[in-house]
Amino acid sequence: MKKIFPIILALGVLAAFHIGLAQAATVEIKANGAMSAITVPYYSNVTLSWSASNLLGTAIGPSGEPGCAGDWGERIPNVWYPPGPIWISKENSGQQLFEGMTATKTFTIMCPSDGSSVQSSVTVTVQPDPNPLKVDLTINGNDVKPGYTYTLPWNGGPEIGQFEDLKFVWEANNPDATCSLGGAGYPDLSRFGFPGTASGEWSISSLKLVRDGHSTDRSSQKIVGGTWIITCTGRGETATDQIRVVTALPPKVIRSIELKANGQSGTVTVPRGTDVLLTWTATNLFSDTRCLASGDWSGYKTSHGSSGQEFTHPLYANKVYTIKCDVSSNTFSDVKNADTVTIYVATDWDALLTKYSSGWDAQGSTWGYITDSGVTQWYRKEGSQWVKKSSAAEAKTPYTEPSPAAKAVCDDIAQSIVNAAGGCSNVDKAAYQNVYSACCAVITKTTLLQLLNNALADGKLDKSEKSSLLDALNTYLSK
């Protein structure tokens, strides 16, 4: 019993001594050898190192595996992760190189020990890039500002032509950047064998538009209006530039049909009983265009979009002729697809008068009338002429031959009065006011010649004739 007690006492002293010597678990993490936060230039390399000591046990860490874990794991695409950092199992000590850091980050390492855990963190602050990635895109040598557009000119006429060729040129300020161009029907130009260089060019040529001769205008190749974008990546950055391209429309072609009657448009008046030439002129109509007549004619009047003509029968009533073609306006053309002419049939009263007046003369009539299409025209015999009158009463009023003094026309009778008086200066103005006004007050070249011929008829000029000639000459020159 005396021997057992010292042994127990010795074991207790050794246990107490061991407990006193046990150290706490620790872990340290450093960035570029510094435990405190550091600041580095943009795209710098950073070496991360860590070391854990006095860890007890093999407990499961935050990564789901035994031992230490760091929170700088990367997420795998298309894999679901719970909220928070991604923990990756790490050795108790080690280091890792981070190349080209582009963003500030805090690194944390956590290690389980004896039912608990220890952790350490360090922050790396990354300064902004003093020369951020940029790219410039030009089109046909034009650097188009944001918000503006480049109009692609049309080279050609309204029927056939082509747009100006396109040439894109780009250049990034980082020669190591990778760039791609796309847009306007070409979303991915890598299929053209582009190496994705930081600078380059790409062209599209001979974008033609050809009208195909049908009622719908179509382009022979896709027009490249739209937004073109260059996208470049490098040193953890992305830069873009874009150009909005609009295509100038080609000049519109005018497609029309024009209808005329006897060469006139709109409203045309023709004598009763005459036939009329209808002509229609087609301009730029398609070969399959049909034009239908309506109104006082019918049927299709064009063949392959061509022009034509047609005579009517003799017309005795007003007529309306219309032609309309099956073509409509669109982006590339303006269309006048219909036209109309209206024909008014007029009575040829002179012709009818010639026909009927001989009968009136044979009967000794002094008045008469002609009725045509419900319209009556009255006439009265005045001297040897049949003169139109507005009513039966006016036509039936007896005609009185005016006296020479009342004549207002310088005819042979009036001129004989002037000559008998010995010239205009001797005419009795009170008795022959109209004769004087017609033959003396208004003098024309014809009057002067007539006076001169009359005066020289007997081969000499007497005093009265000289006076009349002087009066007439002075009157003519004073006008």
Using alpha carbons, list the distances in angstroms from residue 60 to 16, 28, 161, 458.
30, 19, 76, 155
Which DSSP category does 437 fall into? I
**8 A C-beta contact, residue 370 and residue 377:** yes
Q: Which of 115-119, 187-191, 324-328 ranks highest by mean pLDDT? A: 115-119
How much is the pLDDT for 476? 63
How much is the pLDDT for 294? 94
Both tokens of 90, joined, read 């790490």
What CA–CA distance (Å, rounded) separates 103 from 97? 15
Mean pLDDT of 114-118: 87
Partnered with residue 96 across adjacent β-strands are: 48
**Sequential DSSP letters for 283-303:** ES--TT--EEEEES--EE--S
Contacts (Cβ under 8 Å, ≥6 apart) of 408: 434, 437, 438
Which DSSP category does 190 fall into? G
Q: Which of 107-121, 187-201, 431-445, 453-467 ranks highest by mean pLDDT? A: 107-121
Using alpha carbons, list the distances in angstroms from residue 131 to 42, 172, 234, 372.
10, 12, 12, 99
What CA–CA distance (Å, rounded) separates 318 from 340? 14
Both tokens of 251, joined, read 């000049």
Residue (of 281, 277, 282, 280) closest to 261 by Cα position: 277
Q: Which of 42-51, 180-189, 330-339, 446-455 ranks highest by mean pLDDT? A: 42-51
Q: Give 177-234 pLDDT, tens digit per residue.
A: 999 887 765 655 554 445 578 888 888 765 555 444 433 334 444 456 678 889 999 9
What CA–CA distance (Å, rounded) separates 419 from 472? 13
Instruction: Give the distance, in angstroms, between the CA of residue 269 and the centroid of all CA atoms in the same chain.
Output: 41
Flag whether pLDDT at 16 surpasses 50.
no
Q: Which of 5-19, 136-150, 441-455 ranks highest by mean pLDDT? A: 136-150
How much is the pLDDT for 447? 65
Instruction: Give the distance, in angstroms, between the CA of residue 264 and the centroid of all CA atoms in the same chain.
Output: 34
How much is the pLDDT for 430? 72
**8 A C-beta contact, residue 475 and residue 441:** yes
Which DSSP category does 438 fall into? I
Flag whether pLDDT at 169 surpasses 80.
yes
Q: What is the mean pLDDT of the chain?
A: 79
Q: What is the pTM of this model?
A: 0.51
Contacts (Cβ under 8 Å, ≥6 apart) of 383: 399, 401
How much is the pLDDT for 191? 47
Say which residue, 153 or 121, is predicted with more confidence. 121
Flag whether pLDDT at 468 surpasses 60.
yes
Flag whether pLDDT at 174 surpasses 80.
yes
- HSE-CB for 118 with a 13 A CA cutoff: 16
Check residue 377 and give left, alpha or beta (phi > 0: left; psi -120 to 50: alpha): beta
Say which residue, 354 or 31, is predicted with more confidence. 31
For residue 39, name the pLDDT band (cuts at 50, 70, 90): very high
What CA–CA distance (Å, rounded) separates 59 from 50? 19
- Which long-range contacts (C-beta less than 8 Å, at least 24 apart) are formed by 386-394? 386/353, 386/357, 386/360, 388/349
Q: One-letter amino acid identity for 82? A: P
Q: Give 375-399 pLDDT, tens digit per residue.
A: 888 999 887 788 888 899 998 888 8
What CA–CA distance (Å, rounded) separates 478 from 34? 123
How much is the pLDDT for 15? 44
Mean pLDDT of 23-42: 94
Q: Give 49-69 pLDDT, tens digit per residue.
A: 999 999 887 767 777 788 889
